[in-house]
C-alpha cells in the first residue's frame, strides 16, 4: 500500500475538506445565482422580449418553427383552393342550400384559421414567409369573391397593395398554380373579381 492510499490523518482531513467544499459550493451556488438575478431587472423578462424586433422574430421563427409555419400556410392555401372548387361544383349543380351550408362552414374557417396567420399585428415578418402571406391574401380574395363578399374582396385587395407596395416584383404562386409576380397576381385578382 502506498503512502497516498494509506488511511492517514492528513489524507482523511483533505477528503473531509474537499467534501465540505463541494457541499458548500452546491448550496451557495444557487443562492448566489438567485441573488444576482434579483438585482437584474432584465432577468425577469422572457429572453425574446430583450431582443430587438427583427432579431426576436428571426430567433422565434428559425429551423423547425419556420418550416412548420410554412407548412401550415401551404396547407391552408390548399384548403382554400379546395373550398373554391367545392363552391364551383355546388353552384354548377344548382345546389343553393348546399352552397349556403358550405359558406357557413367556410366563413368561420377564414376567421379562425386564415385571418390569424395573415393578421397585420402578427409578428411573422420573416422574409421567407412574405410570399406565403401574400398567397394567402390572394386565395382569400378569390374565395371571398366566390362567396359574393365584394366588400371583403376590395378590403383584401387593398391590403395586398398596401402591405406589399415595395415588393411587387416578388414571385408568388397564384391560386391557380402559376408562378407570377405579385403585381401581376394583383392585376389578375382585380380582373377575375371585377374590382378594377
Q: Which distant-in-sequence residues (6+ apart) come within 8 Å of 146 by Cβ?
A: 83, 84, 87, 88
Nearest to 140 by CA among 79, 71, 69: 79
Chain position carrying cell 386564415: 114
Q: pLDDT tens digits for 114-157? A: 998 888 655 446 788 889 999 999 999 999 999 999 999 999 99
Residue 46 has pLDDT above 60, yes or no: no
Residue 10 in this model has a pLDDT that exceeds 60: no
User: Model-level pTM greater than 0.75?
Assistant: no
pLDDT value at position 47? 46
Can you give the pLDDT at residue 123? 45
In percent, the amount of the chain with pLDDT more than 70 equals 65
Half-sphere exposure of 151 (CA within 13 A, CB side): 0
What integer pLDDT is reported at residue 100 of this predicted model? 94
Predicted confidence at residue 60, as pLDDT, reads 57
- 43: DSSP letter: G
Q: What is the percent of the chain where pLDDT is above 90? A: 46
Rounded CA gap, 3 and 139, in Å? 83
Residue 106's pLDDT is what? 95
pLDDT given for residue 33 in this prediction:
54
**What is the average pLDDT across 25-48?**
53
- Residue 195 is predicted with a pLDDT of 80
Identify the helix (H) or strand (E) that includes residue 154.
Answer: helix 150-163
171 DSSP β-pair partners: 181
Amino acid at each position: 500500500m502506498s503512502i497516498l492510499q494509506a488511511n492517514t490523518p492528513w489524507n482523511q482531513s483533505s477528503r473531509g475538506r474537499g467534501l465540505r467544499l463541494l457541499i458548500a459550493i452546491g448550496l451557495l451556488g444557487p443562492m448566489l445565482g438567485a441573488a444576482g438575478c434579483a438585482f437584474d431587472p432584465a432577468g425577469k423578462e422572457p429572453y425574446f422580449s430583450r431582443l430587438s424586433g427583427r432579431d426576436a422574430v428571426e430567433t422565434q421563427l428559425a429551423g423547425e418553427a419556420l418550416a412548420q409555419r410554412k407548412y401550415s400556410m401551404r396547407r391552408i392555401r390548399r384548403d382554400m383552393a379546395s373550398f373554391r372548387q367545392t363552391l364551383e361544383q355546388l353552384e354548377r349543380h344548382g345546389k343553393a342550400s348546399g352552397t349556403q351550408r358550405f359558406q357557413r362552414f367556410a366563413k368561420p374557417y377564414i376567421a379562425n384559421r386564415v385571418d390569424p396567420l395573415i393578421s397585420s399585428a402578427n409578428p411573422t415578418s420573416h422574409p421567407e414567409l412574405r410570399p406565403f402571406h401574400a398567397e394567402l391574401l390572394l386565395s382569400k380574395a378569390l374565395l371571398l369573391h366566390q362567396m359574393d363578399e365584394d366588400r371583403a374582396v376590395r378590403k383584401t385587395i387593398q391590403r395586398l397593395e398596401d402591405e406589399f407596395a415595395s415588393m411587387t416584383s416578388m414571385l408568388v404562386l397564384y391560386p391557380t398554380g402559376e408562378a407570377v409576380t405579385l403585381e401581376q397576381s394583383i392585376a389578375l385578382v382585380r380582373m377575375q373579381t371585377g374590382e378594377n
